[in-house]
Amino acid sequence: MSKLTTVQLKPPYLILIGEEDDASYAKTGLGIIQWQPERVAGQLRFPGCTLDLGVPDMTVREAAQAHVGSLVIGVAPVGGTIPDRWWDVIEEAALAGLDIVCGLHVKLSDNPVLAAAAEKSGARLVDVRESPPNLPVGNGIKRRGRRLLTVGTDCVVGKKYSALALDRAMREAGMKSTFRATGQTGIMIAGEGIPIDAVVADFISGAAELLSPANDDDHWDVIEGQGSLLHPGYSGVSLGLLHGSQPDAFVVCHDAARKNVSGWEHYSVPSVKQCIELHEVLGRRTNPEIRCVGISVNTSMLPEQERAPCLADLSADTGLPCIDPLTGGCAPIVNYIRAQFSE
């Protein structure tokens, strides 16, 4: 029987972002700092890096002196590789006794120099993006319990953040809820999950079924979405996750200021209504009762005076609660869920 991927990271963390200047690709570091700030000691930036995660700058030597436990590779670039020039500082951290934590597609132990450094110091090499063995093919049989999936009009639009925020808000409202992680950052935060984009395609829906097993009738699994059904590169993982999750409810995540698909600038971002309609059509294959229960919008890049009108317009257009969880919380969506599923 397959088990979830579990990780036990040694705090505090030093977040490595190198020369990455795009916050979208530093989502791992930003996510950990947002949800577990007490576990973060600092950031490691290379000269010239303009991105600041809002924590102290540290060298490997300073981190070792401060008894930092882990160097966490805090970026998730397209392709999931580590730049060649990063390996020297990663090796330095391993020799200093820091565990190395990686959520990318590369496997740390495949680097013989790093593996030797870790063996010499006793540091661990922790690869988070490893699929559990012996995953089943999805069977599509409905399971007890309720499920909510966060989906997106694009990648990096707040699916993880929205899922974590919704799970917290539901529990604060007295509901039974569990966050289910499907990406490397979510797994680092939750301590367990399945990195869906590391699963062989035939087993994605089965992995989603395993991630969210049968539960009490009134219990909600809040499942972190991945990719986007309308993304030219990552739609496959999104469809498998949708079918295996069999969500009763989904929340669309959207960046209000984004016009083009991030990294695929020759594609425009689809509308929220397009996103809702496609998820309803495809989601009915494994759950005929699927419904959208709200829109979670990142309005941070809009002028302040445009943010509230943006949410109001989307709500009027869709007939659904529209929130920015960073500024207004998730109560409107939670209240809508309770009203819709009160039977």
Same fold flag, 5-127 and 146-340: yes
Angle at 227 between CA 253 and CA 333, to 5 degrees: 20
Per-residue pLDDT, 304: 93
Handedness of CA 141, 246, 183, 338 (dihedral sign): negative
Q: 78-83: long-range contacts at Cβ-Cβ below 8 A with a sequence spacing of 24 or more?
A: 78/25, 78/263, 79/105, 80/104, 80/105, 80/106, 80/129, 81/105, 81/106, 82/106, 83/18, 83/19
pTM of the predicted protein model: 0.93
- The residue ranges of every structural domain in the chain are 5-127, 146-340
Tell me the two tokens of residue 317: 């257009």
Determine the average pLDDT of the residues in 300-309.
94
235-280 pLDDT, tens digit each: 999 999 999 999 999 999 999 999 999 889 999 999 999 999 999 9
Question: How many Cβ atoms sit within 10 Å of the Cβ of residue 309?
Answer: 11
* DSSP H stretches of helix in 246-324: 272-283, 304-318
Per-residue pLDDT, 192: 95
Q: For residue 318, which phi and psi values (nearest 5 degrees)?
A: -105, -20
39-87 pLDDT, tens digit each: 999 999 999 999 999 999 999 999 999 999 999 999 987 777 888 899 9
Q: Does domain 146-340 have CATH number 1.10.10.60?
A: no
Which of 42-54 are b and which e, b meaning 16 or more Cβ less than 10 Å from the residue's Cβ?
bbbbeeebebebe
**Burial category of 133 from C-beta neighbours within 10 Å (exposed 0-12, middle 13-18, buried 19 and up):** exposed
Fold of 5-127: Rossmann fold (3.40.50)
